[in-house]
Structure 1
Amino acid sequence: MPVTAAAAASTPGALGALPAAPQAQAVEPPPTVHYTTEGANSVAVSGTVLTDPQVRVFASNQVVAHVRLRLRPRAHPAHLPTPAYGAATVDCFGALALQLSQHVHKGSCIQVRGQLKEDRWSDKVTGEPRSALKIIAEELALLAPTEHHETHEEQQQPEGQPPPPAPQRAQQQQGPRFTPSAAHSCTLYDQGMPLGEVAAMRNIKQSTVIDHLVAGAATGRFNNWARLAGDLQLGPPSDAATWLTPAEVAEAVWHVQQEHPSAALSQLPLKPIKQRLEEGPHTGGKVAAALAATAGDPSLVYGSIRLVAAMLECGVSFGVVEAPPPPVPPLAERPAPAGPPPF
């Protein structure tokens, strides 16, 4: 005769006593609220910015900027390890994008209010569908520095590795390093010396000179954006059919950046950006013309990509490239080149 659960519970040694089912405690239902557009899909987060703002300017002059934000936990005992809360991508548009690009940098602590949006795309290598949640910012604020912020940042360092000293942190947040060698190249270029002459005088590659000038532009050490763009065959000159425009390069940079969401624009691989420009229906012929003019040397194309990436990171308008570059003085009127830097 089968033994029921009730009989087993009441019969010692019969199948072992079974635990009684817990009684569900009655609770009040959740509150009922009226639907509001402000409350629909609304999120508020705060955290530490993991990347420098990455800016994109569309042909319609709409400015978009985004960063990766390490999500900050709520109040947490300082003596306990901070739990990982992951990271999120924050997109800003218009005035918020300008605020983000001009006043926020890697390491900043910010608070964002906005709505969630799911982006979907296909992986270019495997073809598999991929998706990611983004926060479309509607409000942006800087968090005042507090002891809690500093403690939280120190706890985010890899295990066993002490946090870097304050001067080193500041250097990590300054972007491209402006070396004495780069300063020398910028000085010669500011004096009116062409790219090729600077490279020949310093016995370095022209691509290295371009890197020096882009680093100078990105760190605010010189403002010859228009002249450098012209030397790189970038911008709308008299024959716009043969030169790449900043918007075209920015479009290729943006697409490649989607495959490297945590990388700064200045750290993106150049080859896939150049390949995308070569495959573009409106840019392929321009890249081919640039390569043919330099006997296959891609330094000008790569230089254009680096310059546009620096403009996007610094929030520089493409209008400065479209302006005519300052006149270069004749060779006889140029000042004597400065001597080599003391290093």
Structure 2
Amino acid sequence: MVFLASQLSAEEEEIRRILISIICLYGSEGLPLEWVDQEFFKSCGFPIPYQKFGAESLKTWLITLPNVYIVKDLDGNEVLVEYSPKSQHIKDMVLKQRNGHRPPINRKNSECNNLRSYKTKRRLNSKNLPEGSFIHTSINNASTIDMDRYEKFEELESMLPLFYKHQALGDDFFLDIADMKLGYYVPERGPKTCGLCSSGQTITALTEKVRIAAHLAPRVVVMIGFQDLLLGHNIHTMISDLRELIIELKKKNTRVTLITLIPSPKMPKNPWYKTRQDIYNRALLDYAMDPVLKCNVIDMDTIFRKEAQTFKQNFGRWYKISKNDPYQVFSDYGRKTFLKALKLCLKEQIEYGH
């Protein structure tokens, strides 16, 4: 059956136009089908309501859209592409203009071969940006390096990410916020890390990093233990490991703020995990009154519980995250709730002399 644009409702047509704009950002390689809902959510703040349009799945609804097609790329993955006579005419004109001004290429020339391989690499690494939107020409240029400046810069980098004048120490939660909300650099390939925040980091791993750290900020905010819970570590061992971490931080003469663990879509829906999390959080709260290792404490778990009671219809929004990214532990709604509370608490601490 052929579906025409006139058969779409006004809401469907608006969503179709948004999807086409997203597809265009991915260029000729197409938008991976498994990323469609994720990219749409980033743009609009809500998922595609395909069920509202009578479709059983997102894919079955997408194939009804005019000028939007699901094809397979060179690797056999399904991608969304946009094709219409008007858009193809524009693409053909651009292609002719480029071909008309392109100098002849001598394939035996090594410089041309390097240029061609560079262009291929650039296309592969810039899927989210329009083709030609940036030019890297000075990456391999020889230059005079001021070692003192670079050493100082590396020293500063080791104390990132900074949240409201506090160095963040922890695992996926802080890494997610640093990357998705505050624009800190997190490698796209290889280990996900930024300063002393690492994806999948345990309490003991962070303690060892703190022990050997050459530089640590005067104030730190710590949220750790999520990975230990997922791995099923003994709760008493976790509490003991947390104490060792705080002892190491105090040796560094730094002011410590602890954050309780909060609900996450990555936590299995099993009462056993929730019970252990509650025990761990209670032990963490005790450091607010510890006679030897006193720390500031932000009970983020209580903040999230209160938020859920006030806005019950929004609680489910904490559980809508990208399944493609192994270290995302927040939905966007959860990030905003977390960051707002963190800002208020840390700002108040500084203003009161912390």
TM-score range, shorter chain: under 0.3
Higher helix share: 2
Higher RCO (C-alpha 8 Å, min separation 6): 1
Between Structure 1 and Structure 2, whose CA radius of gyration is higher?
A: 1
Higher strand share: 1
TM-score by length of 2: 0.26
